[in-house]
Structure 1
Amino acid sequence: MKPQTELAALAAWILISLGLFTPGLMLLGGTLLPTPSVDAQLITNTVISLCIFLLPTFFLPSGKAAWSRISQPLPAKYRKPKHSFTILGLSLLVLLLAQLLYMGIIVLAQKLGYPVQDAVEARL
């Protein structure tokens, strides 16, 4: 498939997904729970994102090629446990620092007098 055709198919899939799947999932999520919770909204958003962005990679040629490249083994020098633990450790460190920065910004904003509240929780 030509790249232009593949791009057009992906754009059509996203439009169809946004037009059909999103309202259906949101309606289903809203009718199953008497009061929608933040967790239900997060799960609905995750499913919608997976339907829109992940599913096409299994069907479009460039997505299939990308999955086959991901599943190929790493070069020998990167297969050592040391590298895996280094990557895992750095990932956890970045997540921790991001959370600390987020909490620090919230505390600073509250000390400066700005009302800080999560927009989703404020709506419920």
Structure 2
Amino acid sequence: MAEQSLYERLGGAYPIASAVDYLIDRLHTNQTLNQANDKVADFHATPYKAGYKFMVTAWSIEVTGGPACYPGRDMFEAHKHLGLTDYEFDVTAHEIRNSLYQVGVPRTEVDEFMDIVESYRSKVIAAA
């Protein structure tokens, strides 16, 4: 039998959406991110939180081996206007890891997902 994809091991779309829901709420209230970067604070102040959750959920589904469903821009285009730094990426990654643990994702899957997140660092930080 073939090994299950990370998407399957995470339980599919519903558990991924639940983790993203928790994560985005945390990111929107993260004072470190919002005080360090006015562009991030402005983005978090927009009324499009539900759309943001949808896009992150779709991206997460796709990069973990689920169905191709992410309709957004590539990561560089989606983030270049924010001027993110390595530090802000690290803070965000910390929130992602903590959110996954908070919703009960096992360590092996958390580590695998965090490897995916790390592979996008050069695509989202301003210095890239």
Asked if TM exceeds 0.5, the reply is no
Rg bigger for which structure? 1
Higher relative contact order, chain-length normalized (CA < 8 Å, sep 6+): 2
Greater helix fraction, Structure 1 or Structure 2: 1
* TM-score, L = length of structure 2: 0.31
